[in-house]
């Protein structure tokens, strides 16, 4: 069995896609029940970076290439690719897209690695604006599970001209939901929401709308979240850095791992 403490920490990216009409909402997708991690849970679109996300040829297919730190480029491309695969949205596009631009067959081919995402963007005559994404948070999985990730969370406005649709493989539903309502449903046990997602929903719910959420993210000092396990009188709990913006958090470990 793999020792979680020695497991490689893989780079990953996830994205909080926001809109204000009909109200302040974030896009969430429900993971397929047969997926190994967080099966059936409501999550933000996201996943590991792929080799193609690091292709230097992206320099000619992106806006803001020189405005973004080199280590951020592949992460942001991965975030844009993941929301394309899982929800059919092309974030950061410079013009309205035809509804057929994000056909399911194309998204599935990208997901399977049969079609480079870079080629899709080029064939559309598009460029992805990397500056359309704003860093929201960064979490590193503690050594509790065999798979560990260094996940960057981003926020971005939803394209007004595109419709979010699940891919039917990794995700079985795509829903727009008010952040506070998603938190309520998670706490009430009405929907499965994993701990990091719930914490970031709570942080997002402090904003009044998309612009406010993006503004808060830009103003907030980024503190990398490395959850720690502590022994308390009531049992083991998972704690977060008090200066990361989530307040005092001591989540029962049994609840996190359940």
In this structure, the answer to whether residues 54 and 174 fall within a common structural domain is yes
- Model pTM above 0.75: yes
CATH of the domain at 30: 3.90.79.10
Residue 15 exposed, middle or buried by CB count within 10 Å (0-12, 13-18, 19+): buried
Lowest mean pLDDT segment, chosen from 31-35, 162-166, 231-235: 31-35
pLDDT of residue 32: 52
Comparison of pLDDT for 144 and 157, the residue scoring more? 157
| pLDDT reported for residue 52 | 97
| The pLDDT value given to residue 145 | 78
Predicted pLDDT at 138? 98
| 257: containing domain | 227-258
**Tens-digit pLDDT profile for residues 107-139:** 999 999 999 999 999 998 899 999 999 999 999
Looking at the fold, whether 153 and 89 belong to one and the same domain comes out as yes
3-state secondary structure of 100: helix
At 1 the pLDDT is 46
Distances from the Cα of 20 to the Cαs of 84, 191, 196, 210, in angstroms?
20, 23, 23, 6
Overall average pLDDT of the 194-214 stretch: 96
Asked if residue 258 and residue 164 are part of one domain, the reply reads no
Say which residue the tokens 């260094």 belong to.
150
What pLDDT was estimated at residue 169? 64
Report d(CA 233, CA 206) in Å as an integer. Answer: 31
Same domain, 213 and 237: no
Same domain membership, residue 233 and residue 118: no
CB-based burial, 69-102: b 16+ in 10 Å, e otherwise: eeebbbbbbbbbbbbbbbbbbbbbbeeebeeebb
Mean pLDDT of 75-87: 95
- For residues 194 and 72, state if they share a domain: yes
The span from the CA of 234 to the CA of 175, in Å, is 36
Specify whether 93 is located in the same domain as 195: yes
Residues 51-59, mean pLDDT to the nearest whole number? 97
Scored b (16 or more CB within 10 A) or e, 149-170 reads bbbbbbbbbbbeebebbbbebb
Say whether both 241 and 150 belong to one domain: no
134 and 248 inside one domain: no
Q: Are residues 256 and 169 in the same domain?
A: no
Residue 103 pLDDT grade (very low, low, confident, very high; cuts 50, 70, 90): confident
Higher per-residue pLDDT: 105 or 256: 105
- Number of domains within the chain: 2
pLDDT exceeds cutoff 50 at 34:
no
pLDDT reported for residue 95 = 74
Q: Are residues 117 and 153 in the same domain?
A: yes
User: Same structural domain for residues 79 and 195?
Assistant: yes
The tokens describing 235, both together, are 């049992």
Highest mean pLDDT among 60-74, 163-177, 229-243: 60-74
């Amino acid at each position: 069995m793999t020792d979680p403490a020695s497991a490689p920490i893989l780079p990953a990216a996830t994205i909080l896609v926001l809109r204000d009409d009909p109200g302040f909402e974030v896009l969430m997708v429900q993971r397929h029940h047969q997926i190994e991690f967080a099966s059936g849970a409501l999550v933000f679109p996201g996943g590991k970076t792929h080799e193609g996300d690091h292709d230097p040829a992206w320099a000619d297919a992106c806006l803001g290439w020189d405005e973004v730190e080199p280590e951020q480029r592949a992460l942001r491309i991965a975030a844009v690719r993941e929301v394309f695969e899982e929800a059919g949205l092309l974030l950061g596009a410079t013009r309205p897209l035809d509804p057929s631009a994000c056909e399911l067959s194309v998204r599935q081919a990208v997901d399977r690695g049969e079609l480079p995402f870079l080629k899709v963007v080029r064939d559309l005559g598009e460029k992805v604006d990397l500056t359309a994404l704003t860093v929201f948070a960064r979490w590193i999985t503690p050594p509790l599970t065999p798979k560990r990730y260094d996940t960057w969370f981003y926020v971005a406005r939803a394209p007004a001209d595109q419709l979010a649709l699940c891919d039917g493989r990794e995700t079985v539903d795509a829903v727009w939901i008010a952040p506070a309502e998603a938190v309520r449903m998670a706490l009430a046990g009405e929907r499965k929401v994993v701990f990091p997602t719930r914490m970031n929903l709570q942080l997002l719910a402090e904003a009044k709308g998309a612009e406010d959420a993006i503004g808060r993210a830009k103003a907030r000092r980024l503190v990398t979240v490395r959850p720690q396990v502590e022994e308390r009188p009531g049992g083991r709990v998972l704690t977060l850095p008090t200066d990361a913006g989530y307040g005092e958090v001591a989540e029962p470990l049994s609840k996190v791992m359940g």
